[in-house]
Amino acid sequence: MSATLDGTFQVSEFVRFSPCCLLLLSAILTLRPANAQDIRVAAAADLEFALEDLTAQYAKQTGKQVKVSYGSSGNFFAQIQSGAPFDLFMSADIAYARKLETTGLAEPGTLYQYAFGRVVIWMPENARVDLANIGWKALLEPSVEKIAIANPEHAPYGRAAVAALRNAGIYDQVRSKLVYGENIAQAAQFIVSGNAQAGIIALSLGASPAMRTGKRWEIPANMHPPIEQAAVILKSAKDKEGARAFLAFVKSSAGRRILESYGFNLPAAHGNSGATNQ
């Protein structure tokens, strides 16, 4: 309202418009964005596409809605410590889930390792590199000026990427090409936008519409520390039973099949400490 700047704004105008403003304001304030019945999940960024499918299937079976917030596990960990209103936390790094357990913020015995992350070298479809056949060597090509990875200081996929590069013996050669995304999804964004010519990211992100067509080469699992992903029910959960039921669905064979189809490796069905299966 530049009118205030040149002083021509009239009180009468304000009176005329205020009923409209009030009406709009009350409409905005009375809108209820989330149903109190919904299960609220904080999930790692690499779960985005798998969870969309999982929650849709779950809603179809039970009629219960699951509302998922995606982000970096470290952020969620900090937020949960400050009382963020989630029922279930699906971390990309089991360490965060364990830490919640030891600090008494998680329901004891609910920790469940739902998947192992798989790591791929990803390049755009139009890259003139035979990624499938040369694997690692693609990263040494002069046409690859920047390689996007997640920040190894705190993101599990970033740590895995650096470990794998070291094990392949090319870390020192590609080090100056590395750029860090805040999380794995942002690293992917650097490649999709064309600013980085290659990246080391989660296979599960390959399900995104923007990445489906790219070239990928999976890094053997023995080249990096395992990316153990684990979920835990929070002590502050409003709907513990709902969270338990959804977690049980994730553990069920239907849930496992979905996770697998989106590019996760599964832990053995037994030997997983956690809540008893329903």
Partner 1 sequence: MNVEALLLSLRLALCVSAILFVLGMPLAYWLAYSRRRWKFLVEALVALPLVLPPTVLGFYMLLAMGPHGPLGKFWYAAFGHGLAFTFAGLVIASVLYSFPFAVQPLVASFETVDRKLLDASAILGANRMRTFRCVILPLSVPGIITALVLSFAHTLGEFGVVLMVGGNLPGVTRTVSIDIYDHVQSLDYAGASHTALFLLLISFAVLSAVYGINRRASRRAWPTWSVK
Binding site for partner 1 (CB under 8 A): 2, 5, 72, 74-75, 77-78, 99, 145-146, 148, 151, 153-155, 179-182, 186, 189-190, 193-196
Helix orientation angle between 73-81 and 94-102, rounded to the nearest 10 degrees: 10
> Minimum distance between the CB of residue 129 and partner 1, rounded to whole angstroms?
15
**Nearest to partner 1 of 115, 196 (CB atom):** 196
> Quick one: 71 or 274, whose CB is closer to partner 1?
71
Give the C-alpha distances (Å, rounded to integers) separating 137 from 76, 133, 148, 221, 251. 36, 9, 16, 18, 38
Residue whose CB is less far from partner 1, 78 or 254? 78
Q: Which helix (H) or strand (E) holds 30?
A: helix 11-30
Phi, psi of 32 (to 5 degrees): -110, 110
- Provide the minimum distance between the beta carbon of 201 and partner 1 in the complex, in angstroms, as a whole number: 14
Q: Least distance in Å: CB of 261 to partner 1?
A: 29
Residue 224 CB, nearest distance to partner 1 (Å)? 19
Beta carbon of residue 99, minimum distance to partner 1 (angstroms, whole number): 8
Based on CB atoms, which residue is closest to partner 1, 75 or 208?
75
Beta strands in the chain (DSSP E): 39-44, 66-71, 88-91, 112-117, 119-123, 147-150, 178-181, 198-202, 215-218, 227-233, 264-265
103 vs 277 by CB, closer to partner 1: 103
